[in-house]
Amino acid sequence: MTDSVGTTIDTVDPSDTIAIVLAAGAGTRFVGPTHKLDAELTGRPVLRHAVDAAVESGIGPVIVVTAGHVTTPVPPIVTTVVNDAWQEGQMSSLRLGITAAAARGALSVVVGLGDQPFVRPDAWRSVAAATAPIAVATYDGRRGHPVRLHETVWDLLPHGGDEGARSLMRLRPDLVIEVPCQGSPNVSLVDVDTLEDLRRWQNNSSTSSP
């Protein structure tokens, strides 16, 4: 493994990798009786689908960055970090998660979104095993989540906004590799943003698995 940004690094030991699930957004487009992450989808809250996939991947410890408006409990083995500055955008949650991961000795983080319930554990594993400073999951050529960020790029990330690592990937494509993952983009890239999104997938799941 090297310390210089832009060079290929060896696959890290799973104990050096931490999964981060971002789950602190306001979810203002979801007009329902609960926060969108607390809404039930196929017998579990939306957030639990994302968290359980990260846990089942076995790539390392899991950190969930949340806020007070999300009430879904997570498994006891998962560390919850509360972002009191969630209104500052997704980047505030990502940086808080990275800080928590660094305090635990992580050399890389693999980041997923709490409102993407259909990302599979094998996608987390494939991205975690990548050998570049930034690795992004692709589904039939379309970029999505999770995204792996090695410690050599953490200081290059923006300090605010909602783009997460996307702006860095645009600025430094030389740091990025794409990792083809199993799953249809019509499923794996789904964000549950609205009540209509939730109902559509509830209806789909009543007749077939996504």
Q: Is residue 3 part of a domain?
A: no
Domain that includes residue 28, residue range = 14-203
Answer whether residue 5 is part of any domain: no
Q: What pLDDT is stored for residue 204 in this prediction? A: 77
- Confidence class for position 13, pLDDT limits 50, 70, 90: very low
Instruction: Work out the mean pLDDT of the chain and round it to a whole number.
Output: 88
161 vs 86: which has the higher pLDDT? 86
Domain count, the chain: 1
Q: Determine, yes or no, domain membership for 8.
A: no
Q: Please give the pLDDT value at position 161.
A: 83
Give tens-digit pLDDT for 62-71. Answer: 999 999 899 9
Enumerate residues 6+ apart whose C-beta is below 8 A from 108.
12, 16, 17, 18, 128, 148, 149, 150, 151
CATH of the domain at 27: 3.90.550.10
Rounded to two decimals, what is the model's pTM?
Answer: 0.88
Q: Are 19 and 61 a contacting pair, CB within 8 Å?
A: yes
- pLDDT for position 1: 36
Residue 208 pLDDT level (bands cut at 50, 70, 90): very low
Is residue 101 one of the residues assigned to a domain?
Answer: yes
209 lies in some domain:
no
* Domain membership flag for residue 150: yes
For 114-160, write each residue's pLDDT tens digit: 999 999 999 999 999 998 999 999 999 999 999 999 999 999 999 88
